[in-house]
Amino acid sequence: MDKPRLKRDWKGLHVRSLIELKNGHERIPSGTVFTVRENCRGLRLEGPKCPRCGVSVFITRVREWDVEII
């Protein structure tokens, strides 16, 4: 699928990371599936909830070329 032309069109898309992503607390392996919450100064991604504790990972300022749309 082609990448959206407008930033607002990214919202709600499911993407897969192509590289290892890092935020202040975790390292998220490549191949992780995320949901795009917004696109402002980069993508804001929400990961799936942990089945045991219910916590989901958020990561911000991800470049558009570091993910692929699924």
CA dihedral 10, 13, 17, 21 (to 10 degrees): 60
> So what's the pLDDT on residue 21?
92
Contact between 61 and 20 (Cβ < 8 Å):
no
Provide the pLDDT confidence category of residue 57 given band limits of 50, 70 and 90. Answer: confident
pLDDT at 1 over 80: no
Question: pTM here?
Answer: 0.84
All structural domains of the chain, each given as residue ranges with its CATH number in brackets, are: 7-69 (2.30.30)
pLDDT, tens only, 5-56: 888 999 999 999 999 998 888 888 999 999 999 998 899 999 988 889 988 8
Q: What amino acid occupies position 47?
A: G
> So what's the pLDDT on residue 17?
95
